[in-house]
Amino acid sequence: PSPKSFQPNGASEEALRCEIEELKQKHLALDQEIAQLLSEGYSLEELDKHISLLHEYNEIKDAGQMLLGKLAVIRGVTTKQLYPEYDLELSD
């Protein structure tokens, strides 16, 4: 195959340009959010710790959801039906 066959067509190039621009905007927004938090007295170490704790929380929540799902299958009910039994709210 010729090298030209590996080059994206015009539409693909434009889509990539749009995606790059969106990512640049997200990057700028995140930088602004970090600057705001720093101006409110948060430190980068504290923000890193919060992010780490959020990741850990999400992993534990995912495991809990998986277990609830397996229990629901065993009992022949929906996961939603198990929430009241374990004092969980649907927003949890």
Q: What is the pLDDT of residues 44-53, one digit of tens each?
A: 888 889 899 9
CB 46 within 8 A of CB 53: no
Residue 69 CA to residue 79 CA, distance in Å, equals: 6
* Residue 43 CA neighbour count, 13 Å, CB half: 3
| Sign of the torsion formed by the C-alpha atoms of 45, 47, 48 and 53 | positive
Residue 7 has pLDDT above 70, yes or no: no
Which residue did the predictor score with more confidence, 85 or 3?
85
Can you read off the two tokens belonging to residue 24? 């640049």
Mean pLDDT of 34-48: 88
pLDDT at 22 over 80: yes
Q: Identity (one letter) of the amino acid at 10? A: G
Q: How far is residue 58's CA from residue 52's CA, in Å, rounded to a whole number?
A: 10
